[in-house]
Amino acid sequence: MNRRAYLQSLVAAGAVGTAGCLRTAGSEPTTTTEEGPQFRIQTVTMELEVPWGTAFAPDGDLYLTERPGRVQRVVSESNRQELVADLTDTVAARGEGGLLGLAFHPDDSDLAYTYQTYEGDGGLANRVVRHRVSEDFARESIILDGIPASSIHDGGRIAFGPDGALYVTTGDASRGDLAQDRESLAGKVLRLTPEGEPHPDNPFGNAVFTYGHRNPQGLAWRDGTLFVTEHGPSTDDEINLLEAGNNYGWPQAKGPTEGDKFTDPIAAYTPTIAPGSAAFYRGPVSDWEGDFFFGTLAGTHLHRVRINDRNEVVEQERLLDGKYGRLRTVFTGPDDHLYVTTSNRDGRGTPAPQDDRVLRIQPV
C-alpha cells in the first residue's frame, strides 16, 4: 500500500452500548446503553477454561475448544453445555499452546479440524488434526505435523476460506528468524487442501501462503480477500491484508516501513492491545454492517474497525471496554449475531465467578 496514505495507529473511540448486567444462561439480561447502536449482552454459556476455537455445526450447535484439551458443545435449543471430548492426554497445554483452533469441513460436517500443541520426541510441536465428530471427536488423521511450537507465539487459528482451502496461522515459536524462512512452517499463514496437502495455487510449491508473521491469530474474508490480525512485540499489533507470496516483515520490520520489500499493515496499534481473532459483521445492527471486529486480550475490549472499499481504515471504536476482562475469539452465528469469548482463566486475567464465558451481542 501507499505508505504516505497509511493510517497509523488510529485512536479508537470510547465504548458505547455496554450492558448493565449479565444473565446466567436462560435468564433475561438487563441493559443500559449510551450513544450509538443499542445492544444487549447475553451469556450463552459459562464456566469454561480458556475457550479458543469456535465453530457452529449445521444443526446450530456451537462447538468450542478449551486450551487445556477439551471440546465442549452448546446445544442450540437449550444452551446446555456438554463435554464432547477430553483430549488432555494428547494435548500439551504449555503457556499459549494447547488445543486451539477449530473448523468444520465445509462439505462434510462429520469432519472437524483442530490445531493442537503436543509433546513429541523432539519437544513441543504443533499439528493440525482431523476428527470424526460422530465418534466423539476421534482422531481420523493428522493432516499436517511438525509446526514449530513454544510456550509463546503458537498462532493457532484455522478456517476454511471461500475457495474451499484450509488456512492455518502459525507463530514464530519465539524464533523470529523462522518467519523469514519460506521452508519453515513457523511465522506463516498456510493454505492447505482439506486432506492437508499444499494448495496447488500456493506461491512457493509448499504449504506457505504468506510469510514474515510474528503471531497471527485472526482470519476473516471480505469479498474473497483475506484479512489477518497479528500480535506485535511491545509495539505494532497489526491488521494485514494478505496476498499470496507476500512478506509481512517480521522480524526485520513491524508496522509501516519505507520501501517495497515488505507489505505494510492497513492498521497498527501502539501500545499493543493483543488482537485475538477476526470477523466481518453481517447482522441486524445496521450501523455495523460490513465492519471488522476482533477481541483484545491486553486491550480488554471488543474492537470495531470500518474498512472502506480501498481497504483503508476509516473508523475505529472500542466496545465493552474493560467490562468483561480479556476478550479473545469473535465470531458470528447462524442467527447473524456477534459472539465473543472471554479469556480470563488463561493465567493473565482476573476471572469473575462465571468465567470463562461466551457472550452474544444482540440489538435491543
Give yes or no: 153 in active site.
Answer: yes
3-state secondary structure the chain: CCHHHCCCCCCCECCCCCECCCCCCCCCCCECCCCCCCEEEEEEECCCCCEEEEEECCCCCEEEEECCCEEEEECCCCCCEEEEEECCCCCCCCCCCCEEEEEECCCCCCEEEEEEEEEECCEEEEEEEEEEHHHCCEEEEEEEEEEECCCCCCCCCEEECCCCCEEEECCCCCCHHHHHCCCCCCCEEEEECCCCCECCCCCCCCCEEEECCCCEEEEEEECCEEEEEECCCCCCEEEEEECCCCECCCCCCCCCCCCCCCCCCCEEECCCCCECCCEECCCCCHHHCCCEEEEECCCCCEEEEEECCCCCEEEEEEECCCCCCCEEEEEECCCCCEEEEECCCCCCCCCCCCCCCEEEEEEC
Which residues are registered as beta bridge partners of 302?
Answer: 295, 319
DSSP-based three-state secondary structure for 177: helix
The phi-psi region of residue 288 (left if phi > 0; otherwise alpha if psi is between -120 and 50; otherwise beta) is: alpha
CA–CA gap between residue 137 and residue 73 (Å, rounded): 11
Q: Chain centroid to CA 267: how far?
A: 17
Integer angstrom CA distances of residue 183 from 173, 201, 206, 209: 15, 17, 8, 12
Cell numbers given for 215: 503471531
Selected catalytic residue, list 131, 153, 213, 301: 153
DSSP-based three-state secondary structure for 6: coil
Catalytic residue numbers read: 153
